[in-house]
Amino acid sequence: MTTLLFFSSPQCGVCHALQPKLQEVVQEHYPNTQFKVINVAEDLISAGQNSVFTLPAVLIFYNQREQFRFARSFSVQQVLDALSKINPEPLF
C-alpha cells in the first residue's frame, strides 16, 4: 500500500496553496494511495519522527518504507513522477 504524508502548518501559505491541488491530482490518478495531511502545529511528534524540518514536505511510503521525500521547493509533477515509479499504471 502507498501512503503520502503531506506536512503543513497554519502559517504556511505555500502549503495551503499546494495541498488541495496535490490531493486532487493524487486522488484522481492514484486512488489507492492514502493521502494524509499532518498539521505540525498539532502533531509535532510526527514531524520529528520523520525528520521533517521545513514545510511543505511530502513523504511517500510503500509498504511502510519511505521511498521518496520532497521538501520546501517541489512541483506536483515531481510527486506524480515519484508515484508513477511505485504505481506504474496511473488511472487516466
Cα-trace Rg, the chain: 12
Predicted pLDDT of residue 74: 96
Q: What is the mean pLDDT of residues 68-89?
A: 92
Predicted pLDDT of residue 91: 54
Q: How confident is the model at residue 31 (pLDDT cuts 50, 70, 90)?
A: very high
Q: What is the mean pLDDT of residues 4-13?
A: 97
In a domain, 73, yes or no: no
Predicted pLDDT of residue 76: 96
Whether 92 has a pLDDT exceeding 90, the answer reads no
SS3 7: strand
**Domain count of the fold of the chain:** 1
Share of the chain above pLDDT 90, in %: 92
Q: Could you tell me which residues are beta bridge partners of residue 37?
A: 6
In a domain, 32, yes or no: yes
Q: Which domain holds residue 31?
A: 1-48+79-92
